[in-house]
Structure 1
Amino acid sequence: MKQILTVKHLSKSYNGLKAVSDVSFEVKQGEKFVFVGPNGAGKSTTINILCTLLSKDAGEVVYGDLTLGQDNEAIRRLIGVVFQNHTLDDDLTVRDNLGIRGALYGYSDKEINQRINELESALEINNYIDQRYGTLSGGQKRRADIARALLQKPAILYLDEPTTGLDPQTRRVVWKIISQIREEFGMTVFLTTHYMEETEDADHVVIIDGGKVVASGTPIELKNQYAPTVLKLFSQNPGPLKESLEASGFQPWQSGGHVQISISNSLQALPILEAIQPRLDGFEVINGSMDDVFIAITGREIRA
């Protein structure tokens, strides 16, 4: 996949304090790219710069052959943004909200109606497209927000914590719809989130803390490096069990009444279990999560 966005050495300060410091990353066309970090890490500042809402102090941002600061108007037509806070007019229907924004993009009435019909079907908003936006539920509003962001057929869809405040069922529905749209149109999704489980199916994850990129990679790469799978072994005699494993070339550690070993995957546990079966009372395979990765890197939970 070719690169659709390149960020090099991006920096931004407020009153002498660096909110973003030397941030660099690349986003490939069609991928789900996730940008995560604790509150105050620099996520919003970075997003606002990338969306042309905030000027940068230093660095380079390039969308294909478009350069931020020189081609901002063209960049705005390339991107769609779903902000954490709802941005449509409460007193207008969803259809009227979309129509006004289509007119701002310079579309004809025919083009606007055609695009609204497409989005109405794709996002399943047909049941309330003629309701006032202010009367909708949180999940319905979020779908309408996504429709607004997709109106101009963007190459990149920015989602700034799009499921914050939604119940788990509605979050799943929203992500199902986003996944369907991404597959159908080959769209690039750039996500910021407080829910680490939303990073599990990402193509690439960048973790930012204190305004700096502190880790980057696929979920599998990050979990292998920072939160490996652990085989937990239970035995009435954990000491001899640990010694036996060490003699076999493993690097176990003892914690209370059990012994643990880092493994690459569940299949790697099978020969270990077969070798020590007579001494074993039970076992558990504990898979590392992206929450574990985040805590290992930053020393705190994502919602802290």
Structure 2
Amino acid sequence: MRVRDLVKRYRNTEHNAVDGVSFEVPEGELFCLLGPNGAGKTTIVSILTTTLNATSGEVRVAGHDLTRPHLVRRNVGIVFQEPSLDMNLTAEENIRLHAILYGLYPWRPSWRLMPADYRTQVRELGEILGLDGQLSRRVRTLSGGTRRKLEIIRALLHRPRVLFLDEPTAGLDPRSRHDLWAYLRQVRHRHGTTVLLTTHYLEEAEAANTVCVLARGRVIEYGSPAAIKDRHTRPELVLDARDRAGLRRELLALGLTVADGEPLRVRVDPSGAQRVVRALRTELTHLQMVQPTLEQTYLLLLERAR
């Protein structure tokens, strides 16, 4: 997937919703778009999946230009942020309709008359996501989390080359989230599926090969989670002592900035941590080197972008 200078401006607005965004996603990668509400994530996904026209820019998805949307659509699977299920059909009927529209299987009026390959595939997906006992229920009777799982099954049915997941685990309990990501890892490894993810769960973004951080429609950071953290944050040395005031004075005398709170925290390069500890005379009761999280780095980037 390749995006070059993508711009989207809605009518009667003064600013671009997406403002010159560029990125590339190699085949088989997990790529994550991060950003607060209104940063442009869903707009970008809508453009890449051909449900919204760009104002300008060059985009290729699964080897196809967006000017040939029918080819793009046959090669992508989509789980939108907002539900897109038929509430009056059963869960299985929603899946069957999707399979028929994609030309995967011939139309049959009931589950029992569908080809064995279809029934096997649906059962396997249902078992993985815990839906096997609910496929005959009407969608309007299902919980929000169960509906989400159903949308994911539907998006994966035709084994797309690129899978777009816009907040896919919203509404799922921790166990379901874990099971879903275990399955998505299988999909990527078995089929080389490229995954573009938007999420508010930073631990999900940590698993991405590449993260693109957006603010006000622009890219403010881009790279692997580890590289982004290294560029903007340093590990913290966490220390404590019975004589906490004395320890604080020593740290300040070494020219270190001590964060407010208990225990005491100072940011140092790993190579300098040993030097700091050796220089201290106060007896320590706690010593720990803590690596920065992507969430801490992400919040720092958003603060700088204000």
TM-score range, shorter chain: 0.7 to 0.9
1:81 to 70, 74, 78: 78
1:96 to 90, 93, 96: 93
Q: Is the CA contact (8 Å cut-off) linking 1:102 and 1:151 kept in structure 2?
A: yes
Q: Report how many residues are paired.
A: 287
Q: Is the CA contact (8 Å cut-off) linking 1:231 and 1:269 kept in structure 2?
A: no
Specify the code of the residue in structure 2 equivalent to 1:77.
Answer: R
Distance 1:91 1:280, change over 3 A: same
Q: What residue is the counterpart of 2:18 in the other structure? A: 20
1:279 match: secondary structure: coil
1:238 match: secondary structure: helix
Q: What residue is the counterpart of 1:9 in the other structure? A: 5
Q: Is the CA contact (8 Å cut-off) linking 2:30 and 2:208 kept in structure 1?
A: yes
Q: TM-score, normalised by structure 2?
A: 0.84
Q: Which moved more, 1:46-55 or 1:106-115?
A: 106-115
Q: What residue is the counterpart of 1:37 in the other structure? A: 35
1:18 match: secondary structure: coil
What does 1:1-304 align with in structure 2 at a 5 Å threshold?
5-14=1-10, 15-16=12-13, 17-69=15-67, 71-109=68-106, 113-124=116-127, 125-234=131-240, 235=244, 236-243=246-253, 245=254, 252-255=256-259, 258=264, 260-264=266-270, 268=271, 271-272=274-275, 275-276=278-279, 278-281=281-284, 282-299=286-303
Q: Is the CA contact (8 Å cut-off) linking 1:182 and 1:188 kept in structure 2?
A: yes
1:183 match: secondary structure: helix
For each residue in 1:202-257, what CA deviation from the matched residue of structure 2 results, as whole angstroms up to 9, or x when unmatched?
Answer: 111001100100001111111112232211333524333444x56xxxxx323469
Q: Is the CA contact (8 Å cut-off) linking 2:236 and 2:265 kept in structure 1?
A: no
Q: Which moved more, 1:153-162 or 1:89-98?
A: 89-98
Cα distance in 2 between the residues matched to 1:24 and 1:184: 28
Distance 1:279 1:129, change over 3 A: same
For each residue in 1:91-144, what CA deviation from the matched residue of structure 2 results, as whole angstroms up to 9, or x when unmatched?
Answer: 222222111111111233398652442242144132222222222233322221
**Uncovered stretches (5+) of structure 2, i.e. residues with no partner:** 107-112
Cα distance in 1 between the residues matched to 2:119 and 2:33: 30
Distance 1:166 1:65, change over 3 A: closer
Specify the code of the residue in structure 2 equivalent to 1:121.
Answer: E
Cα distance in 1 between the residues matched to 2:115 and 2:61: 26
Distance 1:154 1:225, change over 3 A: same
Q: Is the CA contact (8 Å cut-off) linking 2:210 and 2:222 kept in structure 1?
A: yes
Distance 1:45 1:262, change over 3 A: same
Q: TM-score, normalised by structure 1?
A: 0.85
Cα distance in 1 between the residues matched to 2:115 and 2:85: 17
Cα distance in 1 between the residues matched to 2:85 and 2:219: 33
Cα distance in 2 between the residues matched to 1:107 and 1:89: 19
Cα distance in 2 between the residues matched to 1:172 and 1:63: 28
- State the percentage of identical aligned residues: 34
Q: Is the CA contact (8 Å cut-off) linking 1:116 and 1:151 kept in structure 2?
A: no
Cα distance in 2 between the residues matched to 1:135 and 1:259: 51
Distance 1:21 1:259, change over 3 A: closer
Q: Is the CA contact (8 Å cut-off) linking 2:41 and 2:198 kept in structure 1?
A: yes
Q: Which moved more, 1:272-281 or 1:200-209?
A: 272-281
Q: Which moved more, 1:181-190 or 1:290-299?
A: 181-190
